[in-house]
């Protein structure tokens, strides 16, 4: 007898609970436990979840990323930003661009084609907000590294989209098969970013007004969830970045509303089951069978992206005169990579189809490695920084 969707949802939650307990026994982040459990029960493990079923749960991933972006946006309180100044912006720009340039130059020095190097290097800038936030929440991390990390991860998405747009535009121009308008290619990420920020700001203002009318905790929770879901859905319809839109909605709301803390508290209590399912599904989608196919180009991507993140973070932190602990450990917390990178792979494959298979194999293999090791590295870095 075939199980229905609700039964699978129950199983995902039960497996996540078991994975969390096992992860704690081995002193690993819960996120790593969820991902490994998902890998084991997924189509590339024991096959309890099929590829079709994992695809059907895509809406759970969208919901989880929306809530995660909304939570990260709350870090952009003006009082805090006045204290830290320009540091998160400068660090985000340097860590993202250094990763891109280091991967690009290494591939070019080893004789790889310019178009291929640009496409793979462009995706190196993206960082996973979800894994990072979950590790911070689980261990209740707090300190200069953590307080710098969350805004940096949020800004990183915008920098990654811009860097990717420029790199892809150049790649299409130098490619023999490159077609389409250069101006259109360059404007696409600008529209995605600016449109997302403006749309999110508008929704943040609307949410601020609506919470004055709805004062019950249940009503406010339903209202906030509805606004997040609408923000995700409408952004995707209109070609905006849903992550940036949700972050901006939260940032505007948290600075305009006097009851913001009362809104975030019930969300933090009700979203863990969604996050658990999200990471189990993410683990189930990790195809470890591609690892043997990675070759030298994949190793270069995996190693030099991390080196770029570490070096760029150090340079940016040094320019802003950040504390020694931020310079030393921030780069290590930026290893995870997932959602945004997968989206960029799709765009790159459509832009330069002659390199599509290579780009997909390299980046997806990198994501497998980063997701299985990144949360643990983030935990160790925050522990070494004495913020756990």
Residue of higher predicted confidence among 228 and 128: 228
Residue 14 pLDDT exceeds 70: yes
Q: Give just the sign of the alpha carbon dihedral 11, 12, 18, 19.
A: positive
Domain that holds residue 63: 19-124+142-284+293-384
Q: Decide: 279 and 134 in contact? Cβ < 8 Å.
A: yes
Query: Angle 361-344-249 (CA atoms, 0-180°, nearest 5)?
Result: 145
Kindly state the average pLDDT of the residues 313-330.
Answer: 89
Confidence of residue 341 (pLDDT cuts 50, 70, 90): confident
pLDDT recorded at residue 311: 93
Kindly state the average pLDDT of the residues 111-127.
Answer: 84
Kindly state the average pLDDT of the residues 162-168.
Answer: 76
Domain contains 96: yes
Residues 28-39: tens digit of each pLDDT = 888 888 888 988
Total domain count, the chain: 1
Residue 371 pLDDT exceeds 90: no
Residue of higher predicted confidence among 288 and 51: 51
Residue 338's nearest CA partner among 383, 313, 361, 368 is 368
Domain contains 133: no
Domain contains 135: no
Residues 222-252: tens digit of each pLDDT = 999 999 999 999 988 988 878 788 888 998 9
Confidence of residue 264 (pLDDT cuts 50, 70, 90): confident
- The DSSP result for 78-113, as a single string, is HHHHHHHTTHHHHHHHHHHHHHHHHHHHHHHHTT--
pLDDT recorded at residue 227: 95
Give the whole-number percent of the chain exceeding pLDDT 90.
20
Residues 269-308: tens digit of each pLDDT = 888 899 889 888 888 877 777 777 777 888 889 899 999 9
Residue 100 pLDDT exceeds 70: yes
Domain contains 268: yes
Domain contains 306: yes
Query: Angle 341-269-250 (CA atoms, 0-180°, nearest 5)?
Result: 55
Domain contains 372: yes
Residue 256 pLDDT exceeds 70: yes
Question: At residue 236, what are phi and psi to the nearest 5 degrees?
Answer: -70, -35
Question: At residue 344, what are phi and psi to the nearest 5 degrees?
Answer: -70, -30
Residue 53's nearest CA partner among 42, 62, 63, 38 is 42
Residue 26 pLDDT exceeds 90: no
Kindly state the average pLDDT of the residues 122-127.
Answer: 83
Half-sphere exposure of 7 (CA within 13 A, CB side): 6
Count of other CB atoms within 10 angstroms of residue 198:
13
Helices in 241-294 by DSSP H: which ranges?
A: 242-256, 260-270, 272-284
Task: Give the integer Cα–Cα distance in Å for 192 and 240.
Answer: 4
Domain contains 2: no
> In this structure, what CATH number is given to the domain that contains residue 85?
1.20.1530.20
pLDDT recorded at residue 124: 86
Domain contains 5: no
Contacts 24+ apart (CB under 8 A), 152-155: 152/88, 152/91, 152/92, 152/95, 152/313, 152/330, 152/334, 153/72, 153/92, 153/127, 153/129, 153/334, 154/69, 154/72, 154/73, 154/75, 154/76, 154/129, 154/247, 155/88, 155/89, 155/92, 155/93
pTM of the model: 0.75
């Amino acid at each position: 007898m075939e199980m229905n969707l609700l039964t699978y949802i129950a199983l995902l939650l039960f497996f996540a609970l078991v994975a969390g307990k096992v992860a704690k026994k081995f002193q690993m982040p819960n996120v790593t436990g969820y991902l490994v459990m998902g890998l084991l029960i997924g189509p590339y493990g024991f096959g309890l979840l099929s590829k079709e079923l994992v695809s059907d749960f895509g809406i759970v991933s969208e919901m989880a990323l929306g809530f995660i972006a909304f939570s990260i946006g709350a870090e952009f309180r003006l009082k805090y930003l006045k204290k830290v100044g320009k540091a998160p912006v400068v660090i985000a720009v340097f860590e993202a661009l250094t990763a891109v340039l280091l991967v690009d130059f290494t591939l070019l020095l080893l004789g790889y084609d310019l178009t291929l190097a640009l496409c793979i290097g462009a995706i190196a800038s993206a960082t996973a907000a979800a894994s990072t936030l979950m590790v911070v929440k689980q261990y209740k991390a707090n300190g200069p590294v953590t307080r710098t990390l969350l805004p940096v991860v949020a800004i990183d998405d915008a920098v990654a989209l811009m860097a990717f747009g420029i790199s892809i535009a150049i790649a299409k121009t130098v490619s023999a098969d490159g077609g389409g308008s250069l101006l259109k290619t360059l404007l696409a990420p600008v529209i995605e970013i600016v449109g997302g920020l403006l749309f999110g700001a508008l929704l943040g203002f609307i949410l601020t007004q609506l919470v004055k009318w709805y004062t019950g905790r249940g009503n406010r929770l339903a209202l906030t969830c509805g606004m997040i879901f609408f923000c995700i859905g409408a952004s995707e319809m209109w070609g905006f970045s849903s992550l940036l839109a949700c972050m901006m909605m939260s940032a505007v709301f948290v600075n305009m509303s006097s009851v913001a803390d009362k809104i975030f508290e019930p969300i933090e209590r009700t979203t863990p089951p969604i996050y658990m399912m999200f990471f189990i599904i993410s683990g189930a989608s990790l195809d470890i069978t591609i690892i043997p196919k990675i070759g030298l180009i994949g190793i270069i991507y995996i190693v030099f992206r991390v080196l770029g993140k570490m070096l760029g973070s150090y340079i940016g932190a040094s320019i802003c005169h950040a504390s020694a602990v931020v310079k030393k450990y921030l780069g290590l917390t930026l290893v995870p990579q997932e959602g945004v990178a997968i989206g960029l792979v799709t765009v790159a494959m459509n832009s330069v189809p002659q390199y599509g298979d290579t780009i997909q194999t390299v980046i997806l293999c990198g994501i497998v490695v980063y997701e299985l090791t990144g949360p643990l590295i983030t935990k160790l870095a925050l522990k070494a920084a004495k913020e756990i």
